[in-house]
Amino acid sequence: MSQEVQYTEDNIRSLDWQEHIRLRPGMYIGKLGDGTTPDDGIYILIKEVVDNAIDEFVMGAGKTIEISIQNGVVTVRDFGRGIPLGKMVDAVSKMNTGAKYDSKAFKKSVGLNGVGTKAVNALSSEFIVQAIRDNQTKIATFHRGILVEDSPVTESTGRRGTKVVFTPDASIFLNYKFQMEYVEKMVWIYAHLNPGLTIYLNGEKFYSEHGLRDLLHNSLSGEVIHDIIHLRGEDIEIALVHAEKSQSEQYQSFVNGQHTTQGGTHQSALREALVQTLRGFYQKQYETADIRQSVIAAISIKVIEPIFESQTKTKLGSNDMGPSGPSVRSFIADFLKTELDNFLHRNPEVAEAIQRKILRAERERKDLSGIQKLARERAKKASLHNRKLRDCKIHYNDLKNERRLETTLFITEGDSASGSITASRDVQTQAVFSLKGKPLNCYGLTKKVVYENEEFNLLQAALNIEDGLEELRYNNVVISTDADVDGMHIRLLLITFFLQFFPELVQEGHLYILQTPLFRVRNKQKTMYCYSDEERRAAIDALGPRPEITRFKGLGEISPGEFKHFIGGDIRLEPVLLGKEQIESLLEYYMGKNTPERQDFIIENLRVELEDAVE
C-alpha cells in the first residue's frame, strides 16, 4: 500500500504578492511566450504600463507619451499628473492599491483592478519608477518585485508625469525578443484611438487627427465601394465601409482605448445593430449574411468600470455602459439607428452603393447555396471517414479553457511529415491537417473555389472560419512544409489562400511558418540542431573535429522523438506579417501573371544571393 500523504498546517503557506505573480504569471498576463506572437507576455507588460499613460491623457493630463525599447529594456514616460509621491511605492508594489478604485480620478480607464503595474514589476528583473509633480520627484528601484532602493523625495525642475523603466525577467520569458512590428501596431492603434495624443516610439512619431476614420483608412487593403462612414457621439465612435472584392467581415473593437481583439458585447452589438438599421432604412428583410458581407468596421466605446473576461482585457464582458447606464446593446443600437440612418439619408449615393452590394451578395449566396450544402456534407464525411485532420482536445473558441491560447493547427504536406508531427504532438492543444499535393493558386478566383476544391473546403471546415473568426478553433495556424523549393511554393500558395479569402486571419496575427532545423550536428557527447549554415558552422566549431552532420531534406526525415523538441518548448514560429503594402497589389505582384517587374526582381535577388554565397 502507498504511504498516505500527510496534510497539516505545514502544507499551508501564504505567498507574498510578487511570489504569487511569478508562480502563476498566466493569471495576470496570459501566456508567457518569447515574443514570437503578439499576445505574448512581454507585449502585455508594455501594454500595462502604456495603458496607465493613456489613462492620464483620457483624463485630460498630458498629450505626449515617449516609449523606448533598446536591448530588451523598455522605457515609458508620460507627462500626466504623476503618481502621488507618498503612495508611489505602494501603487506599483502593493496589491489592491491604486487610484482606479476611486472612480472620480479615473472614470473610464482601461485598468480597474490595480494589478497591471504590479505584474510588470514582479515579472521584471529590474523595475524603476519615477514620479514628478509639484516640483518634486521620487525614484524607486525593484528587482523581481522586491524593493531594493527607495530614494527620498527631492526637488525637481522636470515636467510632471511618470517614468517607468523595466527589463522583462529572462528567467521567466525565455529567449525573449521584441518584434518591433507588434509594438508599432500597438502604438499605432493607441494613437488612432486617442486623437490629439502624440506617441513617440524610439523617436518615430505616431499621431492621428480623425481617430477611427484614419485607423480604417490606413488599414484598408483593397478597393471600397463608398467613402468611410464616420460616426461620433458621447462615449462612442464608429467607422465602417464595404470592400469591393473581399467577402468576409472584418471588425476591430475597442473599450476605453483597449484593443479587444476577441470582441465582446460591444462588437456583437455593432453587428446586430448594423443589420437592424439597414433593414429599417431599406424597408427590406435582407438576409443577415448579405448585409454583413464585406463590411469592414471599427467601434470604440467608453464604459464606466468595464468588465473583461480576462486580466489581458481582450474581450469585453460588460452588459451595461455603467452602474446606472443603459445596456451596451441598446446604447449601440440606438446610436446606430439614429446616426447611420441620418447619414444614409444625407448621402443617397452611399446608400445606393450599399444596397447594390447587398443585392450582389444575395445573388452570390443563392448561386453558391447548392455548392455550399454539398461542400459541408463532404466536410462532415471527411472528418468521419479519413485522417486528414488529427484534431486536439482543446480549442481556441473554448473561452473558459486557460490553455486556449496554446491551440495550434499544423498544416503539413504529405503523410510522412504529418505522421512525425502527429506522433510527437501534444494531443491536448496541437492538431494536424495533412495536405494532399500542392494547393491551387487561388489568386483572382471567387470564393466558389473554396467549396469546390476539396483541400480548401476541408481546411476551411477544420478552422471553422466560413463565417468569420468568431468561432476560430485554433489560435495559431502554422504552415509546416519542407524547407525546399516545393515546400516554399506550398507556403506561398497557402498564404495566398488565406490572404485572398480570410485576410483577417493574417491581419490578427494567427498565421505562422514553422521553422525546423536544417542540420543535426553531433558527437558522442552532444547533439546540436542548426537552422542555418551559420549555426551549422558554429556547431562544428563547438563540437570539435569530425562531428556527424545530417542534412534534413524534409520534415518526414525527422524522427518523432526529435520532432517533439521542435514543436514543444523549443518551437520556433515565424509570424506572417503584413507590411504597409495593399493585399491586392501584393498578391497581384507575386501570384498574378508573370510580369517583367517580377522577373527582374527574381533575377536581381538571385544575383545577390549568388554573390553572398561566393563571399
Alpha-carbon radius of gyration of the chain? 27
Across 61-65, 168-172, 516-520, 598-602, least confident range? 598-602
* Nine-digit cell string for 537: 558552422
* 97-101, 338-342, 517-521: the lowest-pLDDT one: 97-101
Vertex 505: Cα angle to 419 and 259 (nearest 5): 130
Q: List residues bridging with 147 in a β-sheet.
A: 142
Average pLDDT of the residues in 517-537: 90
* Among the ranges given (344-348, 397-401, 457-461), the one the predictor scored with the smallest mean pLDDT: 397-401
Written as nine digits, the cell of 132 is 514628478
Q: Where are the beta strands (DSSP E) in 330-379?
A: none
The answer to whether 505 and 469 are in contact (CB under 8 A) is: yes
Residue 402 has pLDDT above 60, yes or no: yes
Per-residue pLDDT at 460 exceeds 70: yes
- For 416-446, letters b (16+ CB in 10 Å) and e give ebbbbbbebbbeebbbbbbbeeebeebbebe
pLDDT tens for residues 88-122?
999 998 875 544 444 443 455 554 445 689 999 99
Q: Per mean pLDDT, which of 68-77, 310-319, 370-379, 579-588 is the most reliable? A: 68-77
CA gap 54, 256 in Å, rounded: 9
CA distances from 147 to 90, 94, 122, 130, 150 (A): 11, 11, 10, 14, 7
Which of 179-183, 255-259, 507-511, 556-560 shows the highest mean pLDDT?
179-183
> Which range, of 103-117, 191-205, 527-541, averages the lowest pLDDT?
103-117
Instruction: Give the chain's end-to-end CA distance (angstroms, integer).
Output: 69
Residue 161: which H helix or E strand, with range? strand 161-168
Dist. CA 449–CA 440, nearest whole Å: 9
- Which residue in 155, 7, 163 sits closest to 76, CA to CA? 163
| Residue from 319, 440, 433 nearest 379 by CA | 433
Q: Does residue 467 surpass a pLDDT of 80?
A: no
Q: Of 316, 274, 41, nearest to 177 (Cα)?
A: 41
Q: Grid coordinates in use for 489?
A: 511554393
Inter-residue contact 509 to 38 (CB < 8 Å): yes
* Average pLDDT, integer, range 25-39: 83
The set of cell numbers assigned to 611 is 554573390
Q: What is the chain's mean pLDDT, rounded?
A: 84
Q: How confident is the model at residue 383 (pLDDT cuts 50, 70, 90)?
A: low
How many angstroms separate the CA atoms of 290 and 360, rounded? Answer: 8
pLDDT band at 66 (very low <50, low <70, confident <90, very high): very high
What is the phi/psi pair of residue 259, to 5°? -75, 105
Of the pLDDT bands very low, low, confident and very high (cuts 50, 70, 90), residue 200 is very high
Does 150 or 104 have the greater pLDDT score? 150
Structural domains of the chain ordered from first start: 17-206 (3.30.565.10), 212-365 (3.30.230.10), 386-516+554-580 (3.40.50.670), 519-551 (no CATH)
Q: What is the pLDDT of residue 561?
A: 83
**DSSP secondary structure string, 559-572?**
-HHHHHHHTTTT-E
The residue among 14 and 307 whose pLDDT is bigger is 307
What is the per-residue pLDDT for 96?
54
User: Is 265 within 8 Å of 316 (Cβ atoms)?
Assistant: yes
**Confidence band (pLDDT; 50, 70, 90) for 580?**
low
CB atoms within 10 A of CB 336: 25
Residue predicted with more confidence, 25 or 11: 25
What is the Cα 241 distance to its own chain's centre? 22
Q: Is the pTM of this model over 0.85?
A: no
* More confident site: 52 or 166: 166
pLDDT per residue as tens digits for the range 236-285? 999 999 988 776 788 888 988 778 877 888 888 999 999 999 999 999 99
Residue ranges in 209-283 assigned as alpha helix (H) = 212-219, 265-282
Q: What is the pLDDT of residue 103?
A: 45
Percent above pLDDT 90 for the chain: 44
- What is the per-residue pLDDT across 536-547, written as a single tens digit (0 to 9) for each? 999 999 998 889
Q: Is the pLDDT of residue 34 over 90?
A: no
Cell of 404: 486556449
> Is residue 18 predicted with pLDDT exceeding 90?
no
Residue with cell 498544416: 411
Q: Which residue has the higher pLDDT, 99 or 431?
A: 431
Q: How far apart are CA 179 and CA 184, in angstroms?
A: 9
Interhelix angle for 348-385 vs 265-282, to 10°?
Answer: 120
CA distance 254 to 235: 11
Q: Are 321 and 304 in contact (CB under 8 A)?
A: yes
Side chain identity at residue 138, one-letter code: K
Beta strands in 221-378 (DSSP E): 229-233, 236-242, 250-255, 258-259, 295-301
Greater model confidence, 200 or 404: 200
C-alpha cell at 168: 522583462
Q: CA 198: distance to chain centroid?
A: 23
